[in-house]
Structure 1
Amino acid sequence: MRWMACELHTHTDHSDGKQSLLELARGARALGFDCIALTDHNTMSGLHDRAQVEEATGMTIVSGMEWTTFYGHMVTIGLTDFVDWRPAVPGDIDRGIGQVHAHGGIAGMAHPYRIGSPMCTGCYWEFEIGDWNQLDYIEVWSGAFPSIKTDNARAFRLWTERLNEGYRIAATSGRDWHTQEPTSDSLAVTYLLLDETEGDATEQAVRALAAGRASVTMGPLVTLALRAAEAVYGIGDCVPKQELRPRYEAVAAIDFEVRAGLWDFPDAAYSLVLMSNAGVIGEQKASPDTREYRFEIPGDGLRWVRAELKGTVRGMRTTIAFTNAIYTERE
């Protein structure tokens, strides 16, 4: 198992980007990424020289396409064939998600609360989702320095609400990267935990995201595990009924060495918070001098739990990183 640093929302000059795939891959490599998903608007033509770019840069490039409609943008990842976005209508996006799944892909809401038409055509999500079990993920952090943006805060709340309702939906970040212009703003990374049992890195990345094995950060990588009686459960796992306990030991770890030199939060005054359907269930101060943190948490009524790393960035107290959830089987 290994963590892979991914940027899951990018564009080239095959849609409205101002960069070639080679320029995009080289830029991503310079920023410490291992993988990018190319998600041009309504086209997959930018992938035509994917193999050559992967060989030249060492990047893993995942096939994708952003369905760009008047009613919302949906990122599809892992497709090997074009799946037509044009039949999508406000009351029936489920059929479109089903088609994506049928062709081996996964689907996520892109920047669901970004300002919409006419400023950004269709950027605000208006599709009605009939079955939230079919949606694979929500892009809860969009753009640079995403944690301070109000539209992202709404998306993060939407994800939390769906977790509270019992759905198992992953959360990701996406820069929505169009150009190689430098920025001093903090960039988010979605780390995917690859199982490496079968398939190439692209297949492993798609499988990891579909399973919710993801951790999102603007800096250090945070991971989480629950220790039950007979097993240890990690991000994206579900504790089965026979393993449910009145209390668990939760073990969080923070890797401050990832993408060394590409981020810096001096005087962050970190704190590590465990969040669940019951709200905050644990909190400790965190430091680059300490890697592992242990919590005793209640198991009664626990549906899900995640870790969040808080800190001060540019004078603002904000979320710096968060894990996806570990679930418990309740039905």
Structure 2
Amino acid sequence: MLKEVNQGLNPIKPVDTAFRRFSIAPMLDWTDRHCRTFHRKLTKHTVLYTEMVTTGAILFGRGDYLHFNEHEQPVALQLGGSDPEALAKCAKLAQERGYNEVNLNVGCPSDRVQNGRFGACLMAEPKLVAECVSAMKAQVDIPVTLKTRIGIDEQDSYEFLCDFIDTTHKVGCDDYIIHARKAWLNGLSPKENREVPPLDYERVYQLKKDYPQLHISINGGIKTLTDSVTHLEQLDGVMMGREAYANPFLLAQVDHLIYGAETINPITRHELVRDMYDYFEREMALGANFWHIARHMLGIFQGMPGARAFRRYLSENGHKKDADIQTMEKALSFVPE
């Protein structure tokens, strides 16, 4: 049974999931459809995001970059790009495919993203971002949202942030996910940009006070549901990133604590892993690699006896050509039920 407890928190009253009170951040190479399937086993209401997908990949790539499974819903597509026409086409395709939301990345600071003229560098071009938002909103009825930072480089004043919000809000954007750190476009790696610039939650709180009509979600450094509930006392939504990936079992409490479900999801860790077996078999029959699914499950026993042995065995054997359900069963044997 679940060992996590309420920690004295009272669950927030139920709300429409369209308000996106809790979500898992788009993370490149992590939040693919296999990961989202795994997370959906733990929480019905959390909004799940795709990895960032560029407009070029969608419009000119050979693969199907918009594919997702219906059981992943509610799921949002995060787009990378800065050409309004291309973004509008991709947004329309996303709505046709059944996505619940289209989010524009205005927060990633990597060199590759900057070279493509999208991500965090777009904060310096609020009028262009507004054109992109306007073009997308003209094509879809689903929400068009922005995920951004509180600033970039030396442009990190509150006035700079408000100017960005004002400019993009004028064209109809009313839903923002704010990573509460600024980004350094030069000199820091993407990993360092997630850790070195200090968090400034108060700035995001102030933004909500000054723009009460906007839906403001916060992102950055959020590691517990206790912290999430605290943020929701002042904001509309919380987006959790790497902690949700590294310690996914905390998601079993989200529907109760954040969305007001009467009870915590009663599934155990072992049951959760085995509940994925049908998905493994179905996907592998279609050509999927065992490890591509299993890698997202390495953190399921975080903090439990046997967790290290589970991770080690799965990491050492999950890559092998003959890896299958029995490989997972062997890994499970290192963790007491």
User: How would you bin the TM-score normalised by the shorter chain?
Assistant: 0.3 to 0.5
Structure whose residues are more often strand by fraction: 1
Structure whose residues are more often helix by fraction: 2
- State TM-score, norm by structure 2: 0.39
Higher RCO (CA < 8 A, seq sep 6+): 2
- State TM-score, norm by structure 1: 0.40
